[in-house]
Structure 1
Amino acid sequence: MAAPTSRTDRNTISRVTVVADDGVPLAATVTGPPDADMTLVCLHGHCQDSASWSPACDLVTVPGIRVIRYDQRGYGRSGTSDTVSSSVSAMADDLDAVLRTLAPDGPVVLAGYSMGGMVALAYARRHSDAVGTRVVGAGLFATAASGLAEEGIGRCLRHPATTIVHRAVSRAPRMMELSKRAGGRVCTVAARRRPPESWLRLLGSALSHETSIVTWSRLLSDVAVLDESAALAVLSRVPAVVAAGTEDVFVPLSLSEAMAARLPRATLVRFDGVGHRVLADRPDEVARALSGLLERVRAQREETSAAAC
C-alpha cells in the first residue's frame, strides 16, 4: 500500500510511503513518466539514504526511464524495525513490497550500491521467479556476493572486539547510541588530515550518521557472514554491470571480479583510482555504466519484440 504525499506532473518528483509486509513504512521517491517503458530501482548503502543516488541518477542519459529510490528500513525517512528484522533478507522482502506497490508491471532494472547491491542479490535469491520476467537487468556497484570475511570489511567485523560491541548494543542500546555519536565526533576530529578512504575517517562518518546503533550493529553483523553466491546463478539470466573502484579497501575489486566471472551477461567496469565511495566520488562514471546497462536492456527487449512480430 502506498500513501502519496504529493501530486506531481509526469516528469516531476513524487514522494510516497510504501508499507512493508511487516508494517514498516518505507519512504520512496519516484521520478519520470508513469508510462515509462522501464523502471530503474536504486538501492542505497549502509549509513546512507536514497539521496545518495541523486548525483548519478541526474546524469543518466537514457530518456524515458522511471526511477524509484527509497530509504531502506532503519535509514533516512523510513521506519525502523526490531533487531531480528533489520537484516539484508528483510530488506530484500521490502524491495519486493516496493516493486509490488510502485512498479506492479513492466520491466525493472535494479541498481544497488554496497549494502544495496547485497539487498539486490538477496532479492534475486528469494524471489528468483521475478528475475528474467519482471527484473530484466542488474547493476552491482562496489558490492559483493560473498568473501567479505576473507578480503573485505568482514575481516574487521569478525574481530572479537566487534562481538563485544554487538552484545553491548543488544543489552544497552540507549547508552551505546550515545557512545556511537560521541565516537563519531572523536573519529571525525582525529581523521581531519587523513585520506578520504582512511578507516578512521569513514568510521567517523558512519558513527556520526543518524542511523540508529541497533540498525547499524545488526546490519554489520549480517554483512560479516554474507553469502549470496546462489543469487549469481539467478542473475546470470539477465544483462548486468558489475563496477567497483580499484582502490576500494572495504569491498575489494577482486570480489567484483569474482562476481562478474559468474555472470556471463555482465560487463565489468573498473573505476581507476577511487575507493569505496563511487557514488559520491565518481557519479559521472556510475551514470555512464548505468546508462550503458539500460541501453543494452532496452535494445535487447526491442530485438525480442521485433522477432516476435
Structure 2
Amino acid sequence: MAEPTSSTDPNTIARVTVVADDGVPLATTVTGSRDAGLTLVCLHGHCQDAASWDAVCESVDLPGLRIVRYDQRGHGRSGTGDVTACTVSGMADDLDAVLRTLAPDGPVVLAGYSMGGMVALSYVRRHPDAVGDRIVGVGLFATAASGLADGGIGRYLRHPAASIVHRAVSRAPRVMELSKRAGGRVCTVAARRRTEESWLRVVGSALSNETSVVTWSRLLADFAVLDESAALDVLARVPVVVAAGTEDVFVPLSLSEMMTARLPHANLVRFVGAGHRVLADRPQEVAGALSDLLGHVRALDPVALDPVGLDPVGLAQREPTRVAS
C-alpha cells in the first residue's frame, strides 16, 4: 500500500505498509512531502527498528527533505516470512521494494547503520545502474563491507560455539528464545555496573529485543560470511560519508578506514571515544555528518552526477576527513 499522494505539508508523518516481493509487510514511516526534491532512506541495525533513527532524523538540517524509515523484515512491526530470506541480500530486495513503492523517481540518499549499511551495500552491488542516477549519495555508519569475522568481538561469528548455537536454534527455537532473553537481562544488569560504553550494553540490547531468536541467529550466520566489497567500486561514483566510533569493538574503525580507502569521494568521520551505539549515544554527531552529505548532494545538481563519475567541480567541494569528539 502506497502513501497518500495529496499532502504537500513538509511536516506530514504517514504510516505506510509496503509489501515486499514475497508478500512480507514492511512497516514504514514517511516524513515530509512527496514533492520534496530529495529523499533520505534510513536503514536500521540488527535487532533494532526504524525508531532507532528518530533522534538523528530530528536533528538533520536540510529544508525540503523527505525521510523514509522502515522496520526491516523480522524486526519491529514488519513481518518475517520465510526465515531463509532473513539475510542481508534478502533485505536488499526489500529495500528495492520500498524504493519502487515510495520513491519511484527523484534522487535518493541511503543511510545505513550497522546491518543497515550492509543492506545498502548489497543493494548497490545488485543495482549498479541506479547509482549516480537514482542513488546520489550514501551514508555508512558503524558498518563494513567485509571482514566482520576477522577481528574484535566479530571473530566469534566463526567460532565453533556459534555453529552449536545456530543448530540449537533450528532444533529448539522456543527454548533458545527464552535463553536469549535471559541472557539479555544478565548482560543488561552487568552493563549497568559500568560507567563507560560497554559491549555488554550492545549485546544485552540485542538479546532482549523482541526480534525472534531465529531471525537473530540467521543474520549472525550471514554476517560471518559477509562480503559486499564489490559495492565499493560502484559507490566510487557518488559522494559517501563513512563514520564510526573509535572504540567500536563490534565493527572496528579499521573496517571503515578500509572502505574509505577504496572510495575516492568519501569523507571519513571518526567519533572519538564512541562505541558501536552511535545512533543512540552520538545522534547529534551522526546528524551532522549526514547533514554534510545531504548538503553536498543538494549542492550538486543531481543531473550533474555522471553515471560513471562525479562532476570534477563537485569534487572540489568535498570536505576533508574530520573528527567528531
TM-score clears 0.5? yes
**Deviation digits for residues 20-43 of structure 1, max 9, x if unmatched?**
001110000000121011100000
**Unpaired runs of at least 5, structure 2:** 306-310, 312-325
- Residues 135-284 of structure 1: matches in 2 within 5 Å? 135-195=135-195, 197-284=197-284
Q: What amino acid is the match of 2:114? A: S
Whole-Å separation in 2 of the counterparts to 1:206 and 1:31: 27
Whole-Å Cα distance in 2 between the matches of residues 227 and 296 of structure 1?
29
Alignment correspondent of 1:127: 127
What amino acid sits opposite 1:129 in the alignment? D
Q: Retained in 1: the 8 A contact 2:10–2:66?
A: no
- How far off is 1:48 after superposition? 0.7
User: Residue 185 of structure 1: CA displacement?
Assistant: 1.7
Q: Does the Cα contact within 8 Å between 1:2 and 1:19 map onto a contact in 2?
A: no
Residue-pair matches, total: 305
Structure 1: state its 5+ residue gaps. none
Letter aligned with residue 170 of structure 2:
S
Q: Which range moved further: 199-208 or 173-182? A: 199-208
- Distance in 2, matches of 1:190 and 1:292, equals 37
Aligned AA (1:210)? E
Deviation at 1:107, TM superposition (A): 0.2
SS at match of 1:84: helix
SS in 2 for 1:58: helix
What is the aligned-residue identity percentage? Answer: 77
Q: Does the alignment pair 1:59 with 2:59? A: yes
Q: 1:191 aligns to what SS in structure 2?
A: helix
Give CA deviations for 1:83-126 in whole Å, capped at 9, x if unaligned. Answer: 21110000001000000000000000000000000000000011
Q: Which residue of 2 aligns with 1:34?
A: 34
**One-letter amino acid of the counterpart of residue 85, structure 2:** S
Aligned to 2:323: none
Q: Distance in 1 between matches of 2:43 and 2:196?
A: 23
| CA drift at 1:203 | 1.7
The 8 Å contact of residues 148 and 154 in structure 1, kept in 2 or not, is answered as yes
Q: CA deviation at 1:143?
A: 0.3
2:28 partner amino acid: A
Task: Tell me by how many angstroms 1:2 deviates.
Answer: 3.0
Distance 2:71 2:43 in 1: 8
2:58 and 2:207 map into 1 onto residues whose CA distance is 28
Partner of 1:34: helix, strand, or coil?
coil
TM-score, normalised to structure 1, is 0.94
Q: 1:127 to 1:190 in 2, by over 3 A?
A: same
Q: Distance in 1 between matches of 2:23 and 2:303?
A: 41
Q: Give the CA deviation at 1:182.
A: 1.6
Q: Which runs of 4+ in 1 moved over 6 A?
A: none
Question: Residue type of the partner of 1:240?
Answer: V
Deviation sequence 1:1-60 (CA, Å, 0-9, x none): 4377xx894422100000000111000000012101110000000111001111111111
1:82 is matched with 82
* Superposed displacement of residue 81, structure 1: 2.2
Q: Deviations over 1:226-263 (max 9, x none)?
A: 11000000111111100001111110111001101101
Q: In the TM superposition, what is the alpha-carbon distance from 1:195 to its structure 2 partner?
A: 4.5
Give the conservation status (yes or no) of the 8 Å contact 1:153–1:224: no
Equivalent-residue separation in structure 2 for 1:302 and 1:191 (angstroms): 46
For residue 199 of structure 1, report the CA deviation from its aligned partner.
3.1
- 1:153 and 1:28 map into 2 onto residues whose CA distance is 32
User: For the residues of structure 1 that align with 2:67 and 2:159, how far apart are their CA atoms?
Assistant: 39
Is this contact kept in 2: 1:113–1:143, CA < 8 A?
yes
TM-score normalised by L of structure 2: 0.90
Say whether 1:116 aligns with 2:116.
yes
Counterparts in 2 of 1:292-303, with a 5 A limit? 292-301=292-301
Alpha-carbon RMSD: 1.9
- In 2, the alpha carbon distance for the partners of 1:29 and 1:89 equals 22
After TM superposition, the structure 1 = structure 2 runs for residues 92-103 of structure 1, keeping only pairs within 5 Å, are 92-103=92-103
SS in 1 for 2:73: coil
